[in-house]
Structure 1
Amino acid sequence: MNVPSDTTPARRSRRSPDALRSEILDAASELFLRDGYANTSIDAVIEKVGGSKRAIYSHFGGKDDLFAAMVTGLSEQALQAIQRADERAGEDVRSSLVHFGRAIMRILMDARTIALYRLVVSECGRIPGLAEAFLQNGPGRATLALARLLETHARSGALAVPHPRDAAEHFIGMLRDDSHLEVVLGVRKPLGERAQRTRVEQVVDIFLHGVGPR
């Protein structure tokens, strides 16, 4: 009787469609972020995850669609760091805004998010709908989460915010200032934890009190 040796490659167990789709997305994300769109091929994804081209085409339709799905998936993963607005509504206004702002800053300064920004900017003119998908699943959802938090504080009388969505956009815009642009452009390193905290607290104080004389 032949006994398989320890060096015999183990057969890949049969995966469910959902598991295979998830593995394809994980492999594609790693390759796209590391090598860029042009240097990542469907064959490279298959080599990493196993399976066939037909599996990728059946799940995603092609390289552009796989890339768009990766952008959406990474945007959603990043936003998992932001707790639902009502989970922080019991805190005072400043504490809840500092907490939210720090979550946003960690996302903005994360290496994967920075790589994703660069990829979206470089490919959005070529792939229809890519920029819109990124905005809706990333920055757009962050803005809505903050708007809900501001509405909660407005209902309690702690804030006077006639237009929560606009105020949320302004708040996040202050966080995403020149430092974020400089990081995306590669002219400076991402802010460390201490610098992020300082920046967030400055933004919260300006947001709540403005810059006029006290």
Structure 2
Amino acid sequence: MDHTENKKIRKGSSDKRAKIIAAARDLFLTDGFDRSSVDAVAAKAGVSKRTVYDYYGDKQNLLLAVVEESSSAVLNMIEQGISDHLSEFEDLAQALILFCGQIVASANGSSDYIALIRLVMVEAANLPDSFFERLDHATEEGLISRFTAFGQSGLLDVRDPKMAAKHFAALTFLLVFNQPRKTGVLDEEQTKRIITEGVHVFLCAYAPRSVQNKNQASS
């Protein structure tokens, strides 16, 4: 769905855009998308209602801009984790564990991640399917590239890197994020156990057969 059809949206100043996005995110999180008005966003941002419409077209485009900005910060977090732990390493299992640990720690301390999850869960009906498709692709892209390289170098037996990336995420950091939590976040020991066991299960499925046979013989 193209909400900007037949509307000319201005680029505007980066400062005004940042204020509008910050105001909209706060209001969407506290009051909800449906109960938040463009007038309220404009007042909170200190700009005119016309400026909001000129920059973003309509309220639904503004919601999309908010979640895309938050998702960009989350994607940068994933890229940083890949750069820190999955580019150069001596032990693949340990590298994967460290990568997941960094993702979880960064997400737990990230207002962008918290905002993204809350908005996506609550306002999914107001977001286009194309957003979710782009987010899934962008989130997996770095891991797919690394798993492809690991397959080519013989570190992993990967027939479908995209599926491997989905399996890996589901067994590790996504499993941590999906745990029921009474006190806000899991403690460090629980998180490490989930990640370590998830990496072990992943490698049982994707390690080359020669490595699996060697591990079975030594156990």
TM-score, length-scaled by structure 1: 0.75
How far did 1:145 drift? 1.1
User: Paired residue for 1:95?
Assistant: 94
Give the direction of change, closer, same or farther, for the CA distance of 1:69–1:140 in structure 2 (3 Å limit).
same
Query: How much identity, in percent, do the aligned residues show?
Result: 28
* Greater CA drift, 74-83 or 110-119: 110-119
User: Paired residue for 1:23?
Assistant: 19
Give the whole-Å Cα distance in 2 for the aligned partners of 1:203 and 1:172. 9
Is 1:63 the counterpart of 2:59? The answer is: yes
How far did 1:50 drift? 1.0
Instruction: Indicate conservation of the 8 Å contact 2:28/2:36, yes or no.
Output: yes
* Greater CA drift, 51-60 or 154-163: 154-163
Deviations 1:158-182 (A, max 9, x none): 1111111100001112232386163
User: Paired residue for 1:177?
Assistant: 175
How far did 1:205 drift? 1.0
How far did 1:77 drift? 0.9
Is 1:153 the counterpart of 2:153? The answer is: no
Higher normalized helix content (fraction of residues): 2
Is 1:74 the counterpart of 2:73? The answer is: no
Is 1:197 the counterpart of 2:162? The answer is: no
User: Paired residue for 1:37?
Assistant: 33
Give the whole-Å Cα distance in 1 for the aligned partners of 2:103 and 2:133. 15
The one-letter code sitting in structure 2 at the alignment partner of 1:144 is: E
The one-letter code sitting in structure 2 at the alignment partner of 1:101 is: C
Q: 5+ residue gaps in structure 2?
A: 1-11, 206-211
User: Paired residue for 1:12?
Assistant: none
Give the direction of change, closer, same or farther, for the CA distance of 1:181–1:38 in structure 2 (3 Å limit).
farther
Q: How does 1:112-131 map to 2 (within 5 A)?
A: 112=111, 113-125=113-125, 127=126, 129=128, 131=129
Higher relative contact order (CA 8 A, sep 6+): 1
Q: Which runs of at least 4 in structure 1 moved beyond 4 Å after TM superposition?
A: 107-112
The count of corresponding residues between Structure 1 and Structure 2 is 192
Give the whole-Å Cα distance in 2 for the aligned partners of 1:190 and 1:209. 28
User: Paired residue for 1:141?
Assistant: 138
The one-letter code sitting in structure 1 at the alignment partner of 2:175 is: D
Give the direction of change, closer, same or farther, for the CA distance of 1:37–1:144 in structure 2 (3 Å limit).
same
Deviations 1:77-97 (A, max 9, x none): 122212354653211311331
Give the direction of change, closer, same or farther, for the CA distance of 1:77–1:200 in structure 2 (3 Å limit).
same
Give the whole-Å Cα distance in 1 for the aligned partners of 2:106 and 2:138. 13
